[in-house]
Amino acid sequence: MTQFLSYAIPGLPYGCVFALMAVGLVLTYQTSGVFNLAYGAQAYASALIFYVCVNAGWPSWAGFLAAVVVAAPLLGLAMDRFLYRFIRSAPVLVKLVSALGMLIAIPSALQLIFGSQERLAPPSLWLPPDSVYFHVAGDAINGTELSTVIVTLAVVLLASLMSHFTQIGLRMRAMAESPRMVQLAGINSERVGVAIWVLSSFLAGLAGVLLAPLFAELQALNFTDLLVAAIAAAALGSLTSLPLAFWGGIGLGVVQELLGGYLPSGSVLSSGLRPALPFAVLIVLLLALPGLRERWFHDDPLSACDPPPPPMAAAIGGHGLEELLRGGGWAVLAVFFVSCLTWVPGNWTFTLTQGLAYSIIFLSIVLLTGMSGQISLCQAAFAGIGAFTCAQLVSHFGISVFVGIVAGGAVAAVVGVVVAMPALRLGGLALALATLAFGLLADNVGFQFPWSGNGDSGVNIPRPQLGSLNFTSGKAFFVLAFVLLIACAAVVLAIRQGTTGRELAAMRGSELAAASIGTNLAKLKITVFAVAAALAGVGGALYGSLQGTVSPNDFNSFLSLVFMVVVVTTGVYTVQGAIQAGMAYVILYQVLDYLPSEWRNLFPILFGLGAVTYALHPEGVVEWQKRRVVEIVVGWRKHPEAVG
């Protein structure tokens, strides 16, 4: 018992932070219908501001006021007022992509403002971290742990008193039940909504400041993991119950530490499984709780009274413009090909070859999200599976790298099927969360073994060789990558133009109607997931062979999110969009490399903000601009009103 307690008690501070986040997440999801993926970024924002203030010599109460009481609610309100309230009735995909854009843009924007240097030993909020107050079951309780637990309990007590004994609390609880009913009762639900965003953002800020000192360094990535832990805790309460979400958070924190205590130390299992627990819990919950799946759709008893969601804006252009763009695209591609073989300097050829590999990975997102309306937040993991499969096969069995690349795609496809099978019955938000959790699980556990990604040291993939043909030189490899990209693009185009593509478009339009005309949605989704995973796997293996050495960090879970926002910004509906995305990705990175290091943060900011415009320009804001420009330049007058 003493041993059990000594393992369990250090989990309490983590549990408290998870619980605060989970409660805040459920609050806004229930009342505004927006699943705020940027919640982790909000927590990070407050933690960072607190750090900066305290390091500038402010007393910690002043830092607390600035970071948690002022900055956090302001940020939350800004997001609600300028973004979320406009997309409440939009399709799930739009809401998720917009929130994803914020999740990616906010941390970088902060680092651009406050500098992106290492931030070691984040300060504790209240009690000093190095003094021990008392011992429980052999655990020394330090100031950080003690203050985290006390502050959490106090805040939760206050919040529940408020929700039960004040008018605004009563209205908030009514909003959680049904915002529309609240409106019908003559209450200004917008104002209550604002109060809820303030409260929820305050909780995020508080959680961020409390969590920071539990890690040695303040890193944005820790807060993405925190977000997933909070989602898992919220899922324990079916995303609706605040008390269950709270206790779910506490429980998760405790069980995580228990696992760390009882599992053999030093093994990958204990170092990997402990942090991966929330993701595993989330996947299991999504699959096991049928109520959770139905909950995503029917949150408000009056939701049937809503007007149908507004249709997505249509892309500019009639058929003539389409053909022009297609022809122009091929021409640009041909010029690009010849240029790279003739006058482009070697280091740029290398960069552009990377772009070709990324383009293949991005084709998988065009197929999944653009053509089928499914959202997967683990495409980088599939790319990693492709690369590591190729590396292991080549180094252990001495097979040709070509065969390795194909095998990488095949293994990724098989894993894709395994992921898709249970996720099938999920849709929209649940699918996004399940794939997000899978990506984190692959990253933290799956890729750490010597037989897969081999942790930080990574694995080697040589350049391929075919008889006397040798692809070690930059130009030869460029040609290989180019041909492979054309082949993959041909596959996607063939699917789009064939019956499968039409069925996918139908499924994207309405799953209910697609099923009612006899489309086997399960089979269709598995197929499209498998093909997409294969594309990502081939792209990943090609990238690995280009780099020579790749490690799990080249395919980390955060990259999956970045990939998504990049493709959504440059054009998610078309094959051209994927190639634009691949090129924009590497070229922008290379250009920013010439600038001072701070400027590198512009990259996620630009694409994050690009993704936020998804609701307005589902075809991609870059694609939209391209079409406008082409239309004006060519003087297209078929739809004169669209040009002006």
Partner 1 sequence: MALVEGTGISKRYGGIVALDDVSVAIDRGEAVGLVGPNGAGKTTLFDCLNGVRHLDAGEICFEGRRIDRLAVYERARLGIGRTFQRLELFAGMSPREHLMVAERVHRADGRLWKDLIGRGRARAPVARVEDLLVELGLDEVADDPIESLSHGHGRLVELGRALVQDPLLLLLDEPSSGLDTREAVGFAAVLLEVRARRQTAMLLVEHDLDFVQRVVERTYVLDFGKMIASGRVDEVLADPVVRRAYLGEVT
The CB-of-94 to partner 1 minimum distance in angstroms stands at: 12
DSSP state of 308: P
Min CB(507)–partner 1 separation in Å: 9
Minimum separation from the CB atom of position 181 to partner 1 (A): 17
Q: Supply the minimum distance, in Å, between the C-beta of residue 509 and partner 1.
A: 3
Which residue, 398 or 518, is less far from partner 1 as judged by CB? Answer: 518
Give 332 or 487: the residue with its C-beta nearer to partner 1. 487
C-beta of 55 vs 510, nearer to partner 1: 510
Q: Please, which residue, 186 or 291, has the CB nearer to partner 1?
A: 291
User: Angle at Cα 333 formed by Cα 330 and Cα 335, nearest 5°?
Assistant: 110
The smaller minimum CB distance to partner 1, of residues 305 and 469, is found at 305
Closer to partner 1 at the Cβ: 311 or 635?
311
Query: CB 294: neighbour CB atoms within 10 A?
Result: 11
What is the closest distance, in whole angstroms, from the C-beta atom of residue 280 to partner 1 in the complex? Answer: 30
Give the three-class secondary structure for 290: helix
Q: DSSP state, 270?
A: I
Residue nearer to partner 1 on the CB measure, 174 or 515: 515
Q: Nearer to partner 1 by C-beta: 290 or 398?
A: 290
Distance CA(115)–CA(423), nearest Å, equals 40
How big, in percent rounded to 5, are the helix, strand and coil portions of the chain?
75, 5, 20
Cβ atoms of 206 and 20 within 8 Å: the answer is yes
- For the bound state, the minimum distance from the C-beta of residue 414 to partner 1, rounded and expressed in Å, comes to 16
Please, what is the minimum distance in Å from the beta carbon of residue 496 to partner 1?
9
Q: Which of 42, 37, 12 is nearest to 203 (CA)?
A: 42
Backbone angles phi, psi at 132, to 5 degrees: -95, 130
CB of 421 to partner 1, least distance (A): 15
Shortest distance (Å) from residue 375 CB to partner 1: 16
Which residue's structure tokens are 């099978």?
Answer: 421
207: Cβ contacts below 8 Å, ≥ 6 apart: 17, 20, 21, 24, 43, 226, 230
Residue 35 to residue 60: CA distance in whole angstroms? 32
Of 174 and 493, CB closest to partner 1: 493
Sign of the alpha-carbon torsion through 69, 75, 81, 87:
negative
- The b-or-e profile of 428-441 (16+ CB within 10 A means b, else e) is bbbbbbbbbbbbbb
Interface contacts to partner 1, rule CB under 8 A: 308, 311-312, 314, 491, 494-495, 497-503, 505-506, 508-510, 512-521, 524, 527, 531
Check: CB of residue 560 under 8 Å from CB of residue 378: yes
CB 41 within 8 A of CB 565: no
Residue with tokens 């990238």: 543
